[in-house]
C-alpha cells in the first residue's frame, strides 16, 4: 500500500513551532507583523486572506488587513507598499494575487522590501535562493521540502522530476531540491517524450495546473508523488474519469456540484511508494510556511 503524506498533520506541527518562536520573540518585546493587501472583492481571495489573518491571530503574530478598492491605481499601490516598507512593526508584506488587470503586478512585487517579501517572489530573494544563500523562499516549494523531510523521504541522490516551470512553484522547487542534493529535471509544456522522463523520477512533483495530467503510465512504481495541483471538477464526465466508483467523492460531488483533483490522476497514486493527497497535502502547507516566513523575516531583520 502506498504511504499517504499527511499535509494536515505536518502543517499543524509547523504552526506549533511558529507559535513557540513567536512566543519567544514576544518575551523579548518583539511581535512579528504581517500586512495583507487584498484589492477589490474577489470571494475566493477574501476567504484565503481572512484565513491567513486568523492564523496570524492564532499563532501570536500581529496582522493588518488592507483592502484598497478594485479601482486603485498602480501609483496608489506603489505608495502603499512604500509606506509598509517604512513601518518597523511590519515584518512581512503579502499582496494577494491576482490583482486587477490595470495594476502592474510585477512593479508592485518588485517594490516590496526583499527583507519583508514573505512570499519569496522578489528577484533578490530568487537570486539568493539560486545562489544557495539565506533567503525568504516561496511558501509552496518550501512546504514541499518540509513534507519530504518530515516524512523521512530520501532526497539526496534521488532523481527529482518537476513538471511545471513557474516562478512561484516549479523553478524554486527545483532549486530547493538541488540544494538538498537531488538530481533535478524540469519539464514543461514543450518537453518532448515527457512520459519517458517522468518514469525516471524517484520524486515526481506535478505543478502544471492541469487536472489529472500525470497518468499512471507516466509514473515509476514506488516513486514519491508530490501533487501541487488544485483543480475544481464540475463536469460529470470528468468526474467519472477520475473518481468512478469512489463513494466518498460521489457524495461530495452530489452535495457540492464539484470536487477537487490534483495534477496527478488519482489512479497513479496506486503505483506510488508515497504520495501527497489532494486535498490534504501540499496545499495545507502554504499558510503554515507563510507564517514561518513572517517569523523568520522578523528575526532576520533584527539580526536574530
Asked if the structure places residue 151 within a domain, the reply is yes
Residues 149 and 232 reside in one and the same domain: yes
Give the number of domains in the chain: 2
Return phi, psi of residue 96, to 5°: -70, 125
Q: Which of 117, 119, 227, 263 is catalytic?
A: 119
What are the tens digits of pLDDT across the range 243-292?
A: 998 999 989 998 999 999 999 999 999 999 999 999 999 999 999 999 99
- 207: DSSP letter: -
Look at residues 83, 115, 147 and tell me which one is the last residue of a structural domain: 115
Catalytic-residue membership of 88: no
Task: Tell me, letter by letter, the H, E, C secondary structure of 122-190.
Answer: CHHHHHHHHCCCCCCCCHHHHHHHHHHHHCCCCCCCCEEEEECCCCCCHHHHHHHHHHCCCEEEEECCC
pLDDT of residue 42: 80
Residues 164 and 75 reside in one and the same domain: no
Catalytic-residue membership of 96: yes
Where residue 41 falls among pLDDT bands split at 50, 70, 90? confident
Q: What is the distance between the alpha carbons of residues 34 and 13, in angstroms, rounded to a whole number?
A: 21
Catalytic-residue membership of 119: yes
Q: Domain limits at 263? A: 139-285
CATH code, domain carrying 69: 3.40.50.10860
Q: Which of 6, 15, 91, 96 is catalytic?
A: 96
Asked if the structure places residue 290 within a domain, the reply is no
Asked if the structure places residue 181 within a domain, the reply is yes
* pLDDT more than 70, % of the chain: 100
Residue 44 has pLDDT above 80, yes or no: no
Report long-range pairs for 215-220 (Cβ below 8 Å, ≥24 apart). Answer: 215/265, 215/267, 215/268, 216/265, 216/267, 216/268, 216/270, 216/271, 218/194, 218/268, 219/264, 219/268, 219/271, 219/272, 220/271
What are the tens digits of pLDDT across the range 119-164?
A: 999 999 999 999 999 999 999 999 999 999 999 999 999 999 999 9
Asked if the structure places residue 149 within a domain, the reply is yes
Q: Side by side, which strands form the sheet with 3-4?
A: 3-4, 274-275, 224-227, 203-206, 159-163, 183-187
Q: Which of 52, 116, 171, 284 is catalytic?
A: 52
Amino acid at each position: 500500500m502506498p504511504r499517504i503524506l499527511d499535509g494536515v498533520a505536518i502543517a499543524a506541527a509547523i504552526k506549533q513551532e511558529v507559535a513557540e518562536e513567536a512566543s519567544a520573540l514576544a518575551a523579548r518585546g518583539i511581535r512579528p507583523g504581517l500586512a495583507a493587501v487584498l484589492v477589490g472583492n474577489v470571494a475566493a481571495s477574501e476567504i484565503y486572506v481572512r484565513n491567513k489573518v486568523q492564523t496570524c491571530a492564532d499563532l501570536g503574530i500581529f496582522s493588518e488587513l488592507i483592502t484598497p478598492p478594485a479601482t486603485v491605481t498602480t501609483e496608489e499601490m506603489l505608495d502603499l507598499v512604500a509606506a509598509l516598507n517604512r513601518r518597523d512593526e511590519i515584518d512581512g508584506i503579502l499582496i494577494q494575487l491576482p490583482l486587477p488587470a490595470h495594476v502592474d503586478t510585477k512593479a508592485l512585487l518588485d517594490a516590496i522590501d526583499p527583507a519583508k517579501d514573505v512570499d519569496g517572489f522578489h528577484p533578490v530573494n530568487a537570486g539568493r535562493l539560486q545562489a544557495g544563500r539565506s533567503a525568504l523562499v516561496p511558501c509552496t516549494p518550501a512546504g514541499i521540502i518540509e513534507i519530504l523531510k518530515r516524512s523521512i523521504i530520501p532526497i539526496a541522490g534521488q532523481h527529482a522530476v518537476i513538471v511545471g516551470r513557474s516562478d512561484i512553484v516549479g523553478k524554486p522547487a527545483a532549486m530547493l531540491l538541488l540544494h538538498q542534493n537531488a538530481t533535478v529535471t524540469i519539464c514543461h509544456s514543450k518537453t518532448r517524450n515527457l512520459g519517458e522522463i517522468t518514469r525516471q523520477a524517484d520524486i515526481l512533483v506535478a505543478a502544471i495546473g492541469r487536472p489529472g495530467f500525470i497518468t499512471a503510465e507516466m509514473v515509476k512504481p514506488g516513486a514519491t508523488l508530490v501533487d501541487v495541483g488544485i483543480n475544481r471538477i464540475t463536469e460529470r464526465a470528468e468526474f467519472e474519469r477520475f473518481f468512478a466508483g469512489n463513494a466518498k467523492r460521489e457524495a461530495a460531488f452530489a452535495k457540492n456540484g464539484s470536487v477537487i483533483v490534483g495534477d496527478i490522476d488519482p489512479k497513479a497514486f496506486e503505483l506510488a511508494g508515497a504520495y501527497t493527497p489532494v486535498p490534504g497535502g501540499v496545499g495545507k502547507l502554504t499558510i503554515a510556511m507563510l507564517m514561518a516566513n513572517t517569523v523568520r523575516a522578523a528575526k532576520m531583520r533584527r539580526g536574530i
